[in-house]
Structure 1
Amino acid sequence: MRRRVALRLGAALATGAVAAATGVMLSMPTASAAAAGATGFATQNGGTTGGAGGQTVRATTGTEIHAALCNRASRSTPIVIQVEGTINHANTSQVSGGSCSTAGGVIELKQISNVTVVGVGGGAVFDQLGIHIRESSNIIIQNVTVRNVKKSGSPTSNGGDAIGMESDVRNVWVDHTTLEASGGESEGYDGLFDMKDNTQYVTLSYSTLRNSGRGGLIGSSESDVSNGYVTFHHNLYENIDSRTPLLRGGVAHIYNNHYRSLNESGINSRAGARAKVDNNYFEDSKDVLGTFYTDAAGYWQVSGNIFDNVTWSSRSGDTNPAGPNPQSNTTVSVPYGYSLDAASCVPSVVSQTAGANKGLRVSDGNCTPQTPGPTPTTPAPTTPAPTTPAPTTTPTQPSGPNLSLGAGADGSSKADGTSYGNVRDGNLSTYWSPAGSTGSVSVKWGSPTAVSKVSIREAAGSAGAVRSWRLLNHDTGAVLASGTTAGVVSFPRTTLSKITFEIIGAQGTPRIAEFETYSG
């Protein structure tokens, strides 16, 4: 299978498959819904509430996350862990205790229950470090970014999965997350969101998955069909080669997602899997639905989807696309209530709601994003929040030469009609905008360059659009500064080859006219 991402970026569920395929209504277990919050299948089987009602603690390292788990009275004592800052290999060690089972180099949620991990403040980034959920139940992961987790090369973590679930996992709600890689399998990355070995009652909502060879899977092989009851809604899949997701057995409800630049295949229903695919928007993609790379057929019910510039392969061998005119070949019912946005407004709604640091905004089911009640900064943590010096900001333009002039530039995405190079051309009338409301742009040099100040200058008419940002040493992934207002930022003099301005929260679509860099 070709990998285009790197080039672009630089036993119960198997039973009844035959009946389902012939149109028999699928019967699913029902249970009381979760408390307000979780959606989709995560509301079933008793519901998903995470650490609600438990102690709230603050963590700024992976070791502190593990310590919070290990300091509980038991493995099921509810806890809310508020995370801020960058979690990486250097600050994630194993912690021992009777209420936990942790490991270094990965956030290990193993053999535990009733836990919420939520990003707060300036944001939570799990950098090259995966989140592993194993033999656990009632878990919420919310408002975090997980990026560049590798299964080969260095460093490795979590088998290359950004978030991975396996071995009798029940009731997981992953919400408002950003899961991203920087290439495909040949570059050392695996899946962004994987479920294996009897994982059930999972919802992935309002999340962004991008720049990866593999979006995610349900079932590790054609015989691993004990997984299922998974809901995917209001997510953005962007620049993904395949597996959005790959379904092996089980049931999935897939609605109101925006799929953009799926390079090889999209929703891959196999081995008797059944997918209810409603009101999604597929754009600039190939073979977005069908059974691929196997002769073990899967099934789908389709309704209200929009296919915008989607190409379809001819049916041949193990390539069996549902298009060019997808038709339902099964019937699937779901046991919970939900509201469908019209497919035509999905790109707009998803761009305003999906991903970390979007204020936990959701759709009201009428194409209108709205902000829910209290944000995850409350209640106040019961352990003191860390004190981190804020970056020095000043409205005065730095003196000396602008090192960005003549340098190179790239980024995560760009809106039509804009260019990365516009941020280092010295012209305030040209600009770069991300494809959505968040994204990153970088300035780079052919040799290490010392930088201690940057000036982020928004284009006329868009001042104040940037609401939350981070400045990264792209060479190491270190956060140089973060804040809520774009402008001039000073930080300790750092020698690097590439510096990145990452927008993690914005009002509307930001426009960056200049990303100026200075040595002093």
Structure 2
Amino acid sequence: MRRTVTRSIAAVIATAAVVAAGVALSITHASAATGGVTGYATQNGGTTGGAGGATVKATTGTQINQALCNRASASTPITIQVEGTINHGNTSDVSGSSCDVGATLIDLKEVSNVTIVGVGSGAVFDQIGIHIRSSSNIILQNLTIKNVKKSGSPTSNGGDAIGMESGVRNVWADHLTLEASGGEAEGYDGLFDMKDDTKYVTLSYSILRNSERGGLIGSSETDTSNSFISYHHNLYQNLNSRVPLLRGGTAHVYNNHYVGIVESGINSRAGGKAKVDNNYFEDSKDVLGTFYTDERGTWQTSGNILDNVTWSSQGSENYPAGPAMASTTTVSIPYGYALDNASCVPQIVAKTAGANKGNQVSDGSCNAQTPSQNPTTPTTSPTTGPTDPGTTNPPGGANLAIGAGADGSSKASGTSFGNVVDGSMSTYWSPSGTTGRVSVKWGSAQTIDTVNIREAAGSEGNIDNWQVVNNATGAVLASGTGAGVITFTAVSTTKINFVITSASGTPRVAEFEAYA
């Protein structure tokens, strides 16, 4: 028996693994690289995120903000590996010349070359959204973002799980789970919104569910500057509308599974053009058309399956594309892609879409596979120091820090900056919290290529993430986890900084040694 389309967005509609018999369609496009960036995010120079930069670990929102703010510049590449739950209780504002962050959201404002990826047991952003504005070359991967509100308490990001605006370019959002627990009346807004000249975005292998609004492209009928958005291999489940809402611009929508769309689906309006290929629409209403406006959009369709889809009658401000779903335009796609047969879309999306699925992708023939190399999840851990840095044998040569000056960002009661350059393991410096900076400085430039961070007895292993920074230029010379001997390309400088960005306990640096 067929299920009827429910009008209550509070009810959770389970995904059905419906696989109809059929022969795979011939593929006329070259296949994209397995596991790498896909869709329109490959255009305009491509999307690489933080590739080539430092990799840091964060378990709180504050540590994410610190990682952004401790970069040498707002464009210095960085990959932030997130594990655990990020919420209002562990997110605070941080100051820095390379960031403009806040305490109520994760704000990627006027930055570039950033990857935020969930690792380990997973990353959950609970009631706290990610806002991308005036930024470019951003990757978000393997994250769960849930219950972000614009009203009630707490509020974050205008109620959007992910929002983009103001000239954003090149964003790849991949293997995400974006969900709410109701609609606007309950305080929620969109799950994946773009406005004010946002271009070259891909949303892939993700789940959007249990919300009144999936996502929009353009905030009003006059905001038509947004374009070139790809949506593929996503699950849209138990949503009222906006999957997506397209105002102007071009979108490519393929190999998605739609289940329980209550009011309207892909809403192309105000001159929008949507290419809609090989999707599976199930137990849904008005899955394609122009709705809630007389300013109509267009679409090109092929290979889609309609399974218990109902259609309303055409009328003022209501122009459903069905039941025939005939094409009304043509759309040229500039990148290569492989189409799964629509009949297997429920199966392949169930295996691959969402966070904590191993970042599996389709091979283009209805089979799920783990990427052989994923650019956002390094196969090696961040740089680490020796197991017991407090007893590390120092490098050869003279320790240039002995007798030098020292300062820092803060110091705990009873500790001193000068303790890190006195040659004694019985004295130490600690920051006033669990993060901070300690520096060694000289009256004239010294050439340095190695430092040795030695933790005081009993505190070994407290330091988690760190950066070594050339104070003269702000350049990050090295980054990693732990402490001990750290090597880097030789620099000539009068001051070198050791910046602790996260710690599992109170850091106690007994000696900050420097060598040529």
Normalised by the length of structure 1, the TM-score is 0.68
2:280 is the counterpart of 1:275: no
SS in 1 for 2:10: helix
Letter in 2 for 1:153: G
Letter in 2 for 1:5: I
CA contact (8 A) 1:199 1:226 kept: yes
CA contact (8 A) 1:247 1:270 kept: yes
SS in 2 for 1:378: coil
Query: What CA distance in whole angstroms lies between the structure 1 residues aligned with 2:260 and 2:322?
Result: 17
Q: 1:75 offset after TM fit, Å?
A: 0.5
SS in 2 for 1:348: helix
CA contact (8 A) 2:35 2:360 kept: no
Aligned twin of 1:256: 255
Aligned twin of 1:73: 72
2:118 is the counterpart of 1:119: yes
Q: 1:383 offset after TM fit, Å?
A: 6.8
Query: What CA distance in whole angstroms lies between the structure 1 residues aligned with 2:33 and 2:308?
Result: 39
Q: 1:38 offset after TM fit, Å?
A: 0.7
Q: Which aligned pairs between 1:123-272 and structure 2 lie closer than 5 A?
A: 123-272=122-271
SS in 2 for 1:191: coil
Letter in 2 for 1:378: T
Query: Would the alpha carbon gap of residues 3 and 155 (structure 1) be closer, same or farther in structure 2, given more than 3 Å must change?
Result: farther
Aligned twin of 2:333: 334
Q: Which aligned pairs between 1:278-427 and structure 2 lie closer than 5 A?
A: 278-374=277-373, 376=377, 378-382=379-383
CA contact (8 A) 2:35 2:372 kept: no
CA contact (8 A) 1:57 1:382 kept: no
Query: What CA distance in whole angstroms lies between the structure 2 residues aligned with 1:225 and 1:150?
Result: 26
CA contact (8 A) 2:34 2:371 kept: no
Q: Bigger relative contact order, structure 1 or 2, given CA contacts below 8 A and separation 6+?
A: 2
Query: Would the alpha carbon gap of residues 310 and 36 (structure 1) be closer, same or farther in structure 2, given more than 3 Å must change?
Result: closer
Query: What CA distance in whole angstroms lies between the structure 2 residues aligned with 1:369 and 1:82?
Result: 24
Letter in 1 for 2:190: G
Q: 1:284 offset after TM fit, Å?
A: 0.3
Computing the radius of gyration over CA atoms, which structure comes out larger, 1 or 2? 2
Aligned twin of 2:8: 4
Query: What CA distance in whole angstroms lies between the structure 2 residues aligned with 1:260 and 1:103?
Result: 36
Query: Would the alpha carbon gap of residues 377 and 125 (structure 1) be closer, same or farther in structure 2, given more than 3 Å must change?
Result: farther
CA contact (8 A) 2:35 2:373 kept: no
CA contact (8 A) 1:34 1:46 kept: no
Letter in 1 for 2:379: T
Tell me the alpha carbon deviations over residues 376-411 of structure 1, each in whole angstroms, 9 at most, x when there is no partner: 263312479xxxxxxxxxxxxxxxxxxxxxxxxxxx
SS in 1 for 2:215: strand
CA contact (8 A) 2:130 2:162 kept: yes
Q: 1:373 offset after TM fit, Å?
A: 2.0
SS in 1 for 2:67: helix
Unaligned runs of 5+ in 2: 1-5, 14-31, 386-516
Tell me the alpha carbon deviations over residues 91-118 of structure 1, each in whole angstroms, 9 at most, x when there is no partner: 1111110011101110011100000000
CA contact (8 A) 1:3 1:185 kept: no
SS in 1 for 2:332: coil
SS in 1 for 2:64: helix
Letter in 1 for 2:104: G
Q: 1:279 offset after TM fit, Å?
A: 0.2
CA contact (8 A) 1:6 1:187 kept: no
2:46 is the counterpart of 1:47: yes
CA contact (8 A) 2:113 2:138 kept: yes
Query: What CA distance in whole angstroms lies between the structure 2 residues aligned with 1:55 and 1:274?
Result: 39
Q: 1:374 offset after TM fit, Å?
A: 4.4
SS in 2 for 1:6: coil
Query: What CA distance in whole angstroms lies between the structure 1 residues aligned with 2:11 and 2:153?
Result: 20
Structure 1 residue runs of 4 or more that deviate by more than 4 Å after TM superposition: 33-36
Query: What CA distance in whole angstroms lies between the structure 2 residues aligned with 1:323 and 1:371?
Result: 37
Query: What CA distance in whole angstroms lies between the structure 2 residues aligned with 1:298 and 1:167?
Result: 23
Letter in 1 for 2:295: A
Query: Would the alpha carbon gap of residues 7 and 371 (structure 1) be closer, same or farther in structure 2, given more than 3 Å must change?
Result: closer
2:37 is the counterpart of 1:38: yes
Tell me the alpha carbon deviations over residues 123-158 of structure 1, each in whole angstroms, 9 at most, x when there is no partner: 000000000000000000000000000011000000
Query: What CA distance in whole angstroms lies between the structure 2 residues aligned with 1:215 and 1:270?
Result: 16
Query: What CA distance in whole angstroms lies between the structure 2 residues aligned with 1:130 and 1:305?
Result: 33
Query: Would the alpha carbon gap of residues 78 and 321 (structure 1) be closer, same or farther in structure 2, given more than 3 Å must change?
Result: same
CA contact (8 A) 1:35 1:48 kept: no
Query: What CA distance in whole angstroms lies between the structure 1 residues aligned with 2:257 and 2:12?
Result: 19
Q: Which aligned pairs between 1:479-494 and structure 2 lie closer than 5 A?
A: none
CA contact (8 A) 1:3 1:184 kept: no
**Paired residues, what number?**
360
Query: What CA distance in whole angstroms lies between the structure 2 residues aligned with 1:60 and 1:109?
Result: 18
Query: Would the alpha carbon gap of residues 139 and 274 (structure 1) be closer, same or farther in structure 2, given more than 3 Å must change?
Result: same
CA contact (8 A) 1:260 1:283 kept: yes
Q: 1:36 offset after TM fit, Å?
A: 7.1
CA contact (8 A) 2:69 2:98 kept: yes
Query: What CA distance in whole angstroms lies between the structure 1 residues aligned with 2:168 and 2:260?
Result: 31
Query: What CA distance in whole angstroms lies between the structure 2 residues aligned with 1:253 and 1:200?
Result: 13
Query: Would the alpha carbon gap of residues 3 and 76 (structure 1) be closer, same or farther in structure 2, given more than 3 Å must change?
Result: farther
CA contact (8 A) 2:280 2:306 kept: yes
Query: What CA distance in whole angstroms lies between the structure 1 residues aligned with 2:378 and 2:181?
Result: 30
SS in 2 for 1:352: helix
Query: What CA distance in whole angstroms lies between the structure 1 residues aligned with 2:225 and 2:310?
Result: 32
> What value does the CA root-mean-square deviation take over the aligned residues?
1.7
Tell me the alpha carbon deviations over residues 418-441 of structure 1, each in whole angstroms, 9 at most, x when there is no partner: xxxxxxxxxxxxxxxxxxxxxxxx
Aligned twin of 1:97: 96
Query: What CA distance in whole angstroms lies between the structure 2 residues aligned with 1:346 and 1:167?
Result: 34
Query: Would the alpha carbon gap of residues 44 and 101 (structure 1) be closer, same or farther in structure 2, given more than 3 Å must change?
Result: same
Q: 1:316 offset after TM fit, Å?
A: 1.1
CA contact (8 A) 2:178 2:208 kept: yes
Aligned twin of 2:463: none
Query: Would the alpha carbon gap of residues 149 and 307 (structure 1) be closer, same or farther in structure 2, given more than 3 Å must change?
Result: same
Q: 1:319 offset after TM fit, Å?
A: 1.0
Letter in 2 for 1:302: T
Letter in 2 for 1:180: E
CA contact (8 A) 1:34 1:48 kept: no
Unaligned runs of 5+ in 1: 10-32, 385-520
Q: 1:4 offset after TM fit, Å?
A: 2.5
Tell me the alpha carbon deviations over residues 172-229 of structure 1, each in whole angstroms, 9 at most, x when there is no partner: 0000000000001111100000000000000000000000000000000000000010
Query: What CA distance in whole angstroms lies between the structure 1 residues aligned with 2:107 and 2:91?
Result: 10
SS in 2 for 1:189: coil
Query: What CA distance in whole angstroms lies between the structure 2 residues aligned with 1:261 and 1:35?
Result: 30
